[in-house]
């Protein structure tokens, strides 16, 4: 989606929206809004072979010796369409045509479908997204959402978006004060490493590292909160220097709000997942 011109589309990622009729939530990986149509994208990163069975509305995954079966994502997208229509209608916004796609993001995954699968055209590989958008642009030429309505829809979706909040410490009955603070040594796993001259030094084995704090910061985001302040970071890393703490927070590309001592750094779920994969 990096290729999409920003001004042409509004893209919202990782939406979790309430469905009041069933008292549940539904999740949208990427929602692309244009004045002419909207597009609901379900991204699938499954490995191995994926087989879509239209008759039973199932998706089978074979990865080595492991076979798994899921509900066909197209079935879910069909339900999304009804949920979105109801949601947009309820808020007195014109309902644009709703397109939906299952996007297979892993280039080495092989895809097959049952002989008769009318929905197969809506299952694509990531690079085909651009030509699909061009097709939709040709198909939908009527402006349904004027600028004002489009802004209203975006504002509405952002407002009712409800991130999944699982408090893991609460689930396991652990207090924040029970956690062992400090940066753990990547070599011997003993905390706390000491910060000196731009490096973390292990007091146990003498190992040094320039980025051992990243894992600790990710632990904080995963265990405690997706928001962080300079003070919290210093407490959690047992780091005396405010300046170094600021440097660390800025280097991680977090979203910054407020100023001076009230500055809060927030990590998006997407970014957190990405960083966890790398560390």
CB-based contact 62:163 (threshold 8 Å): no
Give 111's strand partners.
50
With respect to Zn ion, which residue has the nearer C-beta, 41 or 212? 212
With respect to Zn ion, which residue has the nearer C-beta, 61 or 187? 187
With respect to Zn ion, which residue has the nearer C-beta, 202 or 254? 202
- Which residue ranges make up the site for Zn ion (CB under 5 A)? 185, 187-188, 202, 204-205, 207
Q: Least distance (Å) from Zn ion to the CB of residue 181?
A: 16
| Tally of CA atoms within 13 A in the half-sphere of 237 that contains its CB | 29
Calpha distance 171→167 (Å, rounded)? 6
Q: Least distance (Å) from Zn ion to the CB of residue 183?
A: 10
Q: Least distance (Å) from Zn ion to the CB of residue 188?
A: 3
With respect to Zn ion, which residue has the nearer C-beta, 22 or 204? 204
End-to-end, the C-alpha distance of the chain in Å comes to 25
Find tokens 């999409």 and name the residue.
4
Dump strand ranges (E) for 114-262: 123-125, 194-196, 199-201, 208-209, 227-228, 255-257
Q: Least distance (Å) from Zn ion to the CB of residue 279?
A: 17
């Amino acid at each position: 989606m990096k290729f999409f011109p920003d001004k042409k589309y509004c893209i919202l990622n990782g939406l979790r929206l309430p469905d009041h009729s069933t008292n549940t939530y539904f999740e949208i990986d990427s929602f692309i809004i244009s004045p002419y149509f909207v597009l609901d994208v379900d991204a699938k990163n499954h490995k191995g072979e994926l087989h879509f069975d239209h008759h039973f509305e199932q998706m089978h995954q074979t990865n080595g010796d492991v076979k798994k079966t899921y509900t066909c994502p197209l079935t879910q997208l069909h339900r999304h369409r009804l949920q979105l229509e109801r949601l947009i209608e309820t808020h007195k916004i014109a309902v644009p045509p709703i397109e939906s796609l299952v996007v297979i993001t892993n280039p080495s995954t092989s895809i097959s479908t049952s002989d008769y699968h009318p929905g197969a055209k809506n299952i694509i590989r990531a690079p085909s997204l651009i030509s699909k958008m061009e097709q939709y642009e040709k198909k939908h030429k009527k402006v349904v959402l004027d600028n004002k309505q489009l802004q209203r829809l975006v504002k509405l979706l952002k407002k009712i978006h409800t991130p999944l909040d699982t408090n893991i410490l609460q689930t396991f009955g652990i207090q924040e004060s029970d956690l062992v603070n400090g940066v753990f040594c990547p070599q011997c796993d003993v905390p706390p490493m000491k910060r000196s001259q731009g490096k973390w030094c292990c007091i146990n084995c003498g190992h040094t590292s320039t980025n051992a704090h990243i894992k600790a910061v990710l632990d904080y985001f995963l265990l405690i909160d997706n928001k962080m302040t300079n003070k919290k970071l210093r407490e959690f890393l047992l780091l005396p220097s405010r300046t170094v703490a600021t440097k660390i927070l800025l280097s991680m590309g977090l979203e910054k709000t407020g100023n001076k001592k009230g500055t809060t750094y927030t990590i998006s779920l997407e970014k957190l997942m990405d960083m966890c994969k790398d560390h």
